[in-house]
Amino acid sequence: MRDRLQQGGENLLFLTDDQLLQGIELLFFAYRGFTSDPDRILENYTYGRAHHRAIHFIHRRPGTSVNSMLDILGVTKQSLNRVLRQLIEDGLVESKIGEKDRRERHLFLTKSGKELESELSSAQRKRLRTAYKEAGPDAVLGFRKVLENIMDPSMRKHVKKLVKD
Amino acid sequence: MRDRLQQGGENLLFLTDDQLLQGIELLFFAYRGFTSDPDRILENYTYGRAHHRAIHFIHRRPGTSVNSMLDILGVTKQSLNRVLRQLIEDGLVESKIGEKDRRERHLFLTKSGKELESELSSAQRKRLRTAYKEAGPDAVLGFRKVLENIMDPSMRKHVKKLVKD
DNA sequence: AATTTATGTCAGTCTTGTTGACTTTCCAAG
DNA sequence: CTTGGAAAGTCAACAAGACTGACATAAATT
């Protein structure tokens, strides 16, 4: 009876503050695990997580402009510039002047950039693949749906859609 | 046919690299959204995300020792100490010398500590509650299952279990 | 021609991580 | 009982990576 009143007749037990707080902690611990593999690999280089993020998104969206990277990464241009400068100097990233608009710089991974990307990505994919496999396809669907809802709506367009077969 | 071979006869399309890379991006964007509300609130204080984390876990586990906080947060004691010192100086956290072992310090939120916790937590819970509500209970179950699998197994014990009614 | 846009750079600050050295307290082996 | 090591916590100095602000250059737009 008390429950019915609180829940408005529906089963909304998954929305209690306790459940939400547990969700907050799950996200915290999971995200730390999720970043730990690449972080460990990057210790052998002079790079950090910021470089990883840049490399990931350049890989997934070859040819994006600096400006759109700023949008995606949500950092200042000064911050991104420091990272890009190093990656370009070290020959992992190539910056090509735009053909249509010559103010723009379009970013690409070089061969060795792709190699590092692959090393970082495969560690992270391995962790996710195991997690997905153990949870099963339905759980993964729910996982994705909740994450989509958590992010700022303006960011949803940046999640690269899957290629239809 | 080609699919059957690749998938070993099962429907494992949710384990393709494309799906995994999409999951990586979802986690990235969702986590940023998830931390943005507290970050915005904390701009009005002299605190940052590290303080938020300390406050959250002290709230959830009143009386924990500094050492167990180190385990949970995964930072060095020097790093945590700086944060705790500020919070104690400002009267948000109380540190009590252990009765059994006088080397230990047990941590508690004061009244104003609880107030800040509540402000930060309610913003984050609100975002998560909306996300949960729109996704539905089954999706939330999957969300939690995948997150549990992603985190390092040694961290699972730190996710506070829900109180059974 | 003037303005706006895209990018890059220099300088300085802040948060939050790190390592190294130190003190206090506890406990156990001689 | 003493002594030596381990554990808990503190202080100091440093580094990565975010930030703001000011300014420069080139190209596109009005």
**Contacts from A151-159 at CB under 8 Å and sequence distance 24+?**
A151/B26, A151/B29, A151/B30, A151/B32, A151/B33, A152/B29, A152/B32, A152/B33, A152/B36, A155/B29, A155/B32, A155/B33, A156/B29, A158/A71, A158/A72, A158/B25, A158/B29, A159/B22, A159/B25, A159/B26, A159/B29
Q: From CA B156, how far away is CA B126, in angstroms rounded? A: 24
Q: Which nucleotide is nearest to B104 (CA to C1')?
A: D8
Average pLDDT, chain B: 90
CA torsion sign for A120, A123, A128, A129 is positive
At A113-137, the pLDDT tens digits run 999 999 999 999 999 999 999 999 9
Which residue bears the tokens 């994450």?
A147
Q: Quick check: helix, strand or coil at residue A134?
A: helix
Bridge partners of B107?
Answer: B95
| A89 CB neighbours strand C below 7 A | no
Bridge partners of B95?
Answer: B107
pLDDT score at B35: 96
| Residues 33-62, chain A, CB closer than 7 Å to nucleic strand D | 46-51, 53
Structure tokens at A131: 């997690």
Is B98 in contact with B105 (CB distance < 8 Å)?
yes
Q: Do the Cβ atoms of B142 and A138 come within 8 Å? A: yes
Q: From CA A118, how far away is CA B83, in angstroms rounded? A: 37
User: Which phi and psi (to 5°) does residue B105 adopt?
Assistant: -115, 130
Which architecture characterizes domain B17-154 according to CATH?
A: Orthogonal Bundle (1.10)
Q: Do the Cβ atoms of B143 and A148 come within 8 Å? A: no
At B83-92, the pLDDT tens digits run 999 999 999 9
pLDDT score at A12: 84
User: Does B88 reach chain A within 8 Å, measured CB to CB?
Assistant: no
User: Does A63 reach chain B within 8 Å, measured CB to CB?
Assistant: no
Note the strand D nucleotides within 7 A of protein beta carbons: 7-13, 16-22, 26-29
List all residues 6 or more positions away from A91 whose beta carbon is below 8 Å from its beta carbon.
A110, A112, A113
Residue B16 has pLDDT above 60, yes or no: yes
pLDDT score at B73: 95
| A105 CB neighbours strand C below 7 A | yes
Among the CATH numbers 1.10.10.10, 3.40.190.10, 1.20.1340.10, 1.10.3720.10, which is that of A17-151? Answer: 1.10.10.10
Chain B residues with CB-CB distance to A24 below 8 A: 34, 56, 121, 124-125, 128
| Domain chopping of chain B, boundaries | 17-154
pLDDT score at B101: 82
Which residue bears the tokens 């239809």?
A164
- Round to a whole number and report the distance in Å from the CA of A61 to the C1' of C19: 39
Q: From CA B82, how far away is CA B54, in angstroms rounded? A: 11
Q: From CA B102, how far away is CA B35, in angstroms rounded? A: 36
CA torsion sign for A75, A81, A82, A86 is positive
